[in-house]
Structure 1
């Protein structure tokens, strides 16, 4: 009933502007993104989808340019349809000593963000760690030595990342001290240091274009409490420990940046498919949930858990990690699942791994993506998406959307454009378009298919086929 009534209302408003349908000139992607419920949105109110990659350089000096990422790599990503990068930095490098910040390091991260922006690629600035610090079994030191308190607990048994989380007493004691907000050597709590560090980083990005937002902490681990998180999730930890910590970080960032989206993360255990209990830590209306999909077993609950929980909190949910494999069949199936859920995502390439059996490779463009995940998708919809699907065997892409705005249910101004990215690799000989309810206004075989709603239409159906 709700869907039908809003559609009817939208159709009536569309009819008021019949005849005023001169297409507007195409404009470059806007610099700021917000959200309306589960959807990312641009400054026109169009629903935006991102297909992205992760870029976290875990070797000293911990910034991608030092590993070789440059102009040609950003261009490569853009040409293959990637419009977002989860751009990681190391707390260890930002704050080498308590209260002492390395602004030259932050500038290196910002320079990469600016490079990506020149190619209209959004950056999700990410504070990244994997198992805290090398001294407690990590393969790299995302978090600093001075914040690592193992209290004499042994590192062994240490099978390496990620199993060290489950086996190492030192690993779990270190996290326990972090969640207890133990004082750093200067007497200030570790969590207060972390929040202040984030504010210091965020102020360098607050006025930068193409910043998607801030990912507050990668894969927080519950510490000794982790056995209680299986199989039903971590409600006590996520609501009583993790949310208050991430609230400190959100409040600190809001002191310097009132506009960009703040992406909080649930416990690492959610990556494996346990139920998600994570609330919006501060109720911030400009918030999102960053969650990962490394689900185990035959049934993948990670996507639905994350999207359902983010919807319940009224925030946008983005799959900010999946993959870590070169299995093309698996990757294609995951991308199909994300399409079925109309989800934005960011791929974790195996080249990003730093595990006992796979050292990290240079963060160049081809290393950061996989051909099996390059596919068509609706980059910006002048309406509200209802369904999209891609058949990699036949090259057929279908998209259906309501012409009503996601934020108000009203129609878009005449000439508002829907943009569908169609990769060259998927359509090497060009494509045919059949559209019901919209007119194609882009050039034949353009990489960015552009459509404007035909007069009097409340739903658009688009089919793209290979020539």
Structure 2
């Protein structure tokens, strides 16, 4: 359905025909064994049926470079097989160099030879991700990485990482389905978090003391309670209002923004420059520091080339998770906090002037109560007109989950002109959209391209349930073989040579 070549144009993706493209998809990441998922072509056909047009496909540094300077091309061949499966279904891919808790000694990501922790102990919590804040080993490993400490061969860890990305990019540079490189999953600051994060606990205690008229709040007990999932829920109830939540999290903004400006952005530039030696066009996907996942405003800066100029093809790709994520209370996400997270990401997108793709959200793992939480996030994506990839693919029966309707939703895949508004109503299944259509440029010259909308069930459209403005303009339906899903393909307006606001409603 879609032209394979897309590129960054300001804060949008556009294809070769000049259409605005909305990316919507899912994460596929294998963190265990040989890091090669047990997926086959049937899985990718299912992804197409669900309406996805992109996959955030995980690669693991330990799989790419198991020994210093030695690359496992058999591993990359297996990854390329998945890219081919995606291409066969008309899906794009961006590769994600994934890590959790730095590396394979504590989670996944960096190989053992690249994990320098000085013998510090590894401490885990009831929630896996809490180890970022309580494990000296994880923090020390990140410290050495950000300092570009030498590996056993005398070459810096960051230099190894950049060279590994260069090797990956050299292999995939000319693959038409690969549209981007996500340079590092959820970068964590390291041991400096021990000086920054307590500011948040202290601010919480201050706010709580005022609200409850307590003269001497116990900050140490508060910090202990945060690492108990059930007690954390009680703490989060106090931060259910946006004004209070922002006052608490904003005290750490400058500390994490300084890390992003001084360390993380320089690292991203180093890796980007290595990639650009072999691939000048594929988009660079930039993530934020770990704590921007929860709404801390990011200070990330664009990657620059060796001459100090901004790289022309970059994407802002943060994650968005409420603080209940990874606990048994993921379905209790607070709508005000979630709204703030994505509004903050939109604020940063505006500063960076890049397309916005939320690289991870959700992580509901079959929760029967997550439907409302999922709809809140869906509404934000529609409001922001941004892209997204859900975390994560759990098999072809995911469509049985109660919240999946927020993921498998009608949306505009390609818009001839400028998208102004769209919404899929999960209750009525009705879809509405407004866009300003204009002449669009292609490689052959000026033309008008079709607008394409994915619809999970075409029956309502087939039964005459389409209202298109201006009246009299044409469209046709294309069904995905063997399914009820498909596409509404809207021909250009007959009013050639002028811009025109158009609208469509599918369903009642």
- Determine if the TM-score, normalized by the shorter chain, exceeds 0.5: yes
Q: TM-score range by the shorter chain?
A: 0.7 to 0.9
Please tell me whether residue 454 in structure 1 is matched to residue 427 in structure 2: no
Equivalent positions of 1:257-272 (< 5 A) are 257-272=279-294
Residue 18 of structure 1 aligns with which residue?
none
Q: Is the 8 A contact 1:74 1:365 kept in 2?
A: no
User: For 1:296-335, what aligned pairs fall within 5 Å after superposition?
Assistant: 296=323, 297=334, 298-299=336-337, 300-325=339-364, 326=367, 327-335=370-378
Distance, in Å, in 1 between the alignment partners of 2:459 and 2:477 is 18
Determine the C-alpha separation between the residues in 1 that align with 2:58 and 2:437. 36
Q: Does 1:434 align with 2:434?
A: no
Deviation at 1:158, TM superposition (A): 4.3
- Give the Cα separation in 2 of the matches to 1:50 and 1:375: 13
Contact 2:27 2:360 in 1 (8 A): yes
Query: Superposition pairs for residues 415-430 of structure 1, below 5 Å?
Result: 415-424=448-457, 427=460, 430=463
**Is 2:319 aligned against 1:292?**
yes
Q: Which has the higher contact order (CA 8 A, sep 6+)?
A: 1
Contact 1:36–1:407 (CA<8 Å) still a contact in 2?
Answer: no
After superposition, the CA RMSD in angstroms is 2.3
Provide the C-alpha distance between the structure 2 equivalents of 1:207 and 1:254, rounded to a whole number of angstroms.
13
Query: What aligned pairs does 1:275-424 form with structure 2 within 5 A after superposition?
Result: 275-282=297-304, 283-296=310-323, 297=334, 298-299=336-337, 300-325=339-364, 326=367, 327-349=370-392, 363-367=394-398, 370-404=404-438, 413-424=446-457
Secondary structure, aligned partner of 2:316: strand
Please name the residue that 1:3 is paired with: none
Q: Using the TM superposition, give the Cα deviation of residue 444 of structure 1 relative to its aligned residue in structure 2, in angstroms.
A: 8.1
Partner in structure 1 of residue 35 of structure 2: 62
Asked if the contact 1:440/1:449 (under 8 Å) is kept, the reply is no
Which segment is superposed worse, 226-235 or 307-316? 226-235
Distance across 2 between alignment mates of 1:33 and 1:93: 29
**Corresponding residue for residue 228 of structure 1:** 196
Q: Is the CA contact (8 Å cut-off) linking 1:437 and 1:454 kept in structure 2?
A: no
Change (3 A) 1:431 1:422: farther
The residue aligned with 2:241 is: none
Do the aligned partners of residues 441 and 453 (structure 1) sit closer, same or farther apart at CA in structure 2, a change above 3 Å counting?
same
Provide the secondary structure at the position in 2 that maps to 1:271: helix
Structure 2 CA distance, aligned partners of 1:444 and 1:89?
A: 34
1:247 aligns to what? Answer: 269
Q: Report SS of the residue matched to 1:221.
A: coil
By how many angstroms is 1:307 displaced?
Answer: 2.5
User: Structure 1: which 5+ runs fail to align?
Assistant: 1-27, 353-362
- The alpha-carbon deviation at position 59 of structure 1 amounts to 1.2
Q: Deviation per CA, 1:105-145: give whole Å up to 9, x if none.
A: 0111011001101100000111001111243x32xx32111
Q: CA deviation at 1:427?
A: 4.8
Change (3 A) 1:47 1:196: same
Question: 1:312-361, CA deviations, whole angstroms, 9 ceiling, x for partnerless residues?
Answer: 22221101100001312211221121111111110003xx6xxxxxxxxx
Q: Which residue of 1 aligns with 2:89?
A: 119
1:415-440 CA-partner distances (Å, limit 9, x unpaired):
41111111128959756111113723
Secondary structure of the structure 2 residue equivalent to 1:88: strand
Distance 2:478 2:112 in 1: 57
Q: Is the 8 A contact 2:124 2:130 kept in 1?
A: no
Question: Partner of 1:204: helix, strand, or coil?
Answer: helix
| Cα gap change, 1:47 to 1:146, in 2 (>3 Å) | same
Greater shift in the superposed pair: 218-227 or 156-165: 156-165
Q: Distance in 2 between matches of 1:178 and 1:75?
A: 39
CA distance in 1, matches of 2:146, 2:464: 54
Does 2:6 align with 1:33?
yes
Structure 1 equivalent of residue 226 of structure 2: none
Alpha-carbon distance change, 430 to 444 in structure 1, aligned in 2, over 3 angstroms: farther
Displacement of 1:462 in angstroms is: 1.1
Alpha-carbon deviation of 1:389? 1.2
Partner residue in 2 for 1:206: 173
Residue aligned with 2:465, SS = strand
State the Cα distance separating 1:390 from its structure 2 match: 1.5
CA contact (8 A) 2:478 2:487 kept: no
Aligned to 2:232: none
**Structure showing the higher helix proportion among its residues:** 2
Does the aligned pair in 1 maintain the 2:17–2:440 contact within 8 Å?
Answer: no
Distance 1:222 1:182 in 2: 15
Residue 225 of structure 1 deviates from its aligned partner by 1.8
Q: Which residue of 2 aligns with 1:175?
A: 142
CA distance in 2, matches of 1:119, 1:444: 15
Q: TM-score, normalised by structure 1?
A: 0.84
Kept after mapping to 1: 8 A contact 2:440/2:447: no
Residues 102 and 110 in structure 2, CA contact (< 8 A), matched pair in contact too: yes
Distance in 2 of aligned mates of 1:405 and 1:342: 21
Distance of aligned partners of 1:184 and 1:120 in 2 relative to their CA distance in 1, 3 Å threshold: same
Deviation at 1:154, TM superposition (A): 1.3
Residues 422 and 431, structure 2, Cα contact 8 Å, conserved in 1: yes
Which range moved further: 151-160 or 313-322?
Answer: 151-160
Preserved contact between residue 50 and residue 345 of structure 1 (Cα < 8 Å):
yes
